[in-house]
Amino acid sequence: MTNKTHMTNQHLASLFEEIADLLELSGENAFRIRAYRSGASAIEGLSQPVGELIAQGFDLTTVDGIGSTLAEKSKVAIETGSIPALEKLRAEVPTTLRDVMRVPGLGAKKAMKLHQELGVMDLMSLKQVCLDGKVAGLKGFGEKTQQSILQNIDIVAKAAERLRLDDADRLAERLRSHFSSCKAIQRLDFAGSYRRGKETVGDLDILVVSQSPEKVMDRFGEFPDISEILARGDTKMSVRMTGAFQVDLRVVEEACWGAALQYFTGSKEHNVHVRSIAKSLGLKVSEYGVFREGEDQKPIAGSDEASLYEAIGLPWIPPELRENRFEFQKDLAGRLKDLIELTDIRGDLHMHTVYTDGADTIEAMAQAAIDRGLEYIAITDHSKRVSVARGLDDQRLLEQWASIDRIGPKFQDRLQLLKGVECDILEDGSLDLSDETLAQADWVTASVHFGFKQSREEITDRILGAIAHRSVHSISHPSGRLISRRPAYDYDLTAVIQAAAEHGKCLEINANPQRLDLNDLQAAAAAAAGVMIVINTDAHAVGNLELMKYGVGVARRAGIIKKQVLNTKTTKQMLAWLKKHKV
């Protein structure tokens, strides 16, 4: 049974999303499906853990998007760790069809039809019936759809093999909570690509110090999401979670904790370089410590990571940098000194409210920003091209800005409210709002949301035109990708970076873990070219403001230092920067 405090808002939201998916596959009415999706969004956007709210007697039905049914199911989930209605659906509908419905061009109805008429159960069987030519013969499909499925299936297949970083975060949090009652554990941490902050994680490595490995592994085996125990030895245990994700547990001795943590954190390429440096010094580095060549008995370092790096003449290297890119360069010490930290972030310049597709008011977003210690925010609701989000035309946007002028004084001693907009870059290259309106904004971020299938030249020209526009300050989520769901559109990043540098415009690291766009390599290239980076959450609810950590993680992996990020500036510095860039 899951303790009430152990289920996070994100985990509960994911359960409601799963119910919605399975209901959609079952052919349930759209209203009921939408209720679960709205509930999931509302739960994820809460600023306080839902378990705490329930324990305090808070009425969840007072939250927009949560009705009495979902409120009751939330309480059951918090108290028991599961939802009976979900368990029933899992028994009735193959959960693997959720992957099938996510293949671009399919959806729930077509996925269920493939299941009923061709016996498709998962991505593997879907690929096979396409290769056999059976899909083309189904009514409502055809040869084009069959080819499209074959082209897109790998996107979903790769997503099924790896966890997005925020999903890995949630799993790690639940595992840490699960192990918290095991008194045999003296120390616990996570390693691998998860610790390095990669955008997707292929498996999860847990390192533990304990004198009783069998008790630790017994406790591990009680984790509710384990579908199969793959192996169990004296100090190592591997399991497969529901959904085929693997988690490995290793019990190590306190004396070699640092060496083991460094070794299993990786990356492989980083560790090869570390070992080559050690060898040049007559030393040998392993998961057990640092040894002098020919002396395997007693390590000279390795009880902590800092001592391991110090033994080979290096400062401690943050995990995010361990990719064998620039962490061994001569300027490492200076880069480490000023490497961006979450605490350096003073503002957030991309967020949405109830004016378009956000869940909270301007006032609520402002208060949440204050609660997180921010000094300024820009309200950047969508422009009218994003009609599905009820995007704003010129008149509605001006009305919103007038309301910000009225609201601003209420927060003026604690927060600077900036009048902004996320303005679409249209397919013809023009911007979605008039120049007259845009000129009145404090902050304009321009984005591509449509026309992804245009040529490389067309999309590049659209973005370059926006960069050259005198009222635009930044380009948001420049590649348009959604991790594991949609590839980036084809555009010339080098040309975009060059134009941003020439015009003094920013490029965004969008901190939403579904985007992380720019990615780490792109952000490193932009910063190296002198482009100012801005890290934003793209928050659609107050709870989304916590996503900033993921954007900062990308910047750290890129080796970006504090002064290269616009929203590390103080309010005074930011206002001066905006004034300087006002034409």
Q: List pLDDT tens digits, range 338-364.
A: 999 999 999 999 999 999 999 999 999
What confidence tier does 160 reach under pLDDT thresholds 50, 70, 90? low
Beta-carbon count within 10 A of 184 CB: 18
Describe the strand order of the beta sheet including 236-241 as a list of residue ranges.
185-190, 203-210, 246-252, 236-241, 226-232
Contact 510/538 with Cβ under 8 angstroms?
yes
- Are 481 and 524 within one domain? yes
- Are 88 and 234 within one domain? no
pLDDT averaged over the chain? 92
- Are 301 and 351 within one domain? no
- Are 541 and 421 within one domain? yes
- Are 328 and 387 within one domain? no
Contact 4/88 with Cβ under 8 angstroms?
no
pLDDT at 296: 66
What confidence tier does 161 reach under pLDDT thresholds 50, 70, 90? low
Residue where a domain stops, chosen among 338, 356, 374: 338
Tell me the average pLDDT across 422-447. 98
CA dist 354 → 64, 136, 213, 369 (Å): 11, 43, 52, 16
Say whether 75 sits in a helix, a strand or coil: helix
Beta-carbon count within 10 A of 129 CB: 19
CA distance 93 to 54: 31
- Are 213 and 263 within one domain? no
**pLDDT of 3 strictly over 50:** no
Beta-carbon count within 10 A of 320 CB: 21
Q: Residue 423 corresponds to which tokens in the numbers above?
A: 């303005």
**pLDDT of 240 strictly over 90:** no
CATH of the domain at 75: 1.10.150.110
Angle subtended by helix axes 165-179 and 548-557, to nearest 10: 110
- Are 316 and 360 within one domain? no
- Are 489 and 511 within one domain? yes
CA distance 155 to 134: 21
- Are 129 and 195 within one domain? no
Residue where a domain stops, chosen among 228, 252, 276: 252
Tell me the average pLDDT across 42-47. 78
Residue where a domain stops, chosen among 233, 252, 271: 252
Q: Each residue of 244-286: pLDDT tens digit?
A: 789 999 999 999 999 999 999 999 999 999 999 999 999 999 9
CATH of the domain at 237: 3.30.460.10
pLDDT at 4: 45
CATH of the domain at 507: 3.20.20.140
Question: Which residues 6+ apart lie within 8 Å of 495 measured at CB?
Answer: 460, 464
Total count of domains within the chain: 4
User: Which amino acid, residue 462?
Assistant: R
Q: Residue 517 corresponds to which tokens in the numbers above?
A: 């766009």
Total-model pTM: 0.79
Name the burial class of residue 107, with classes exposed (0-12), middle (13-18) and buried (19+) by CB atoms within 10 angstroms of its CB: middle
**pLDDT of 159 strictly over 70:** no
- Are 285 and 406 within one domain? no
Contacts made by residues 526-531, CB under 8 angstroms, sequence distance 24+: 526/497, 526/500, 527/558, 527/559, 527/560, 527/564, 529/497, 529/498, 529/500, 529/501, 530/501, 531/497, 531/500, 531/501, 531/505, 531/506, 531/507
**pLDDT of 1 strictly over 70:** no
Structural domain boundaries enclosing 411 = 342-580
The helix (run of H) or strand (run of E) holding residue 208 is: strand 203-210
- Are 434 and 573 within one domain? yes
Q: Residue 91 corresponds to which tokens in the numbers above?
A: 């028994």
What confidence tier does 403 reach under pLDDT thresholds 50, 70, 90? very high
The DSSP call for residue 449 is: -
- Are 215 and 265 within one domain? no
